[in-house]
Amino acid sequence: MSSRYSMGSVPNMVRSLLVVAALVVAILLMVPRVNSISQPPVDVASSARSVAAETHWPILIPTGLPDGWKATSVRYVRSTGGLMTWHVGYVSPAGDYVAAEQTENATWEWVHAQTNRAPMTGTVTIAGTTWTEYIRDQKVQNSLVDKRGAGELTTVVTGTGTFDELRVFVEHLTPYVEAR
């Protein structure tokens, strides 16, 4: 025969749940949580050196950016249309993303992909070079394109940054061979 206490009671169950909840809260308060994740620094110059040696392209890297700009990504990969593409990405002091993409003999398809299918909206001259502006409102992406002829590099500076941030980035782009 079983005791009437073996079936438990509602007050005992509530007390047990309160004890368990108090233990869970105590453990949560003791365990440290990460507020932000920082990635290791990106070595743009080292990657640029190997890509320039392999391709003989005068790839562009930003040099002397104002304080607060942080390199977040660098790669040389096959992209749209099978074109090998040099990519270097940064976060601006305002937290916006700005990247430079470069390839040789760029196609319309490649430019269209790098600008996220944004419509062309005009031109702007920065440091003596005329750049074509592209704005994609629905996805907040601004782009500047310097499209060159056959055998030359086409550069796309793109990202969530404002055109002022893109302009600052473009003003600091220099060919790697001169940036040593």
**pLDDT greater than 50 at residue 179:** no
Least confidently predicted of 67-76, 144-153, 160-169 = 144-153
Domain ranges of the chain: 44-179
CA distance to 3, 11, 22, 86, per residue, from 14 (Å): 20, 5, 12, 62
Q: Considering the domain 44-179 in this protein, what is its CATH number?
A: 3.40.1000
Cβ pair 154, 111 in contact under 8 A: yes
Residue 24 above 50 pLDDT? yes
Q: Which of 15-24, 28-37, 64-73, 136-145 has the lowest mean pLDDT?
A: 28-37
> Mind listing the pLDDT tens digit for each residue in 104-143?
999 999 999 999 999 999 999 998 999 999 999 888 899 9
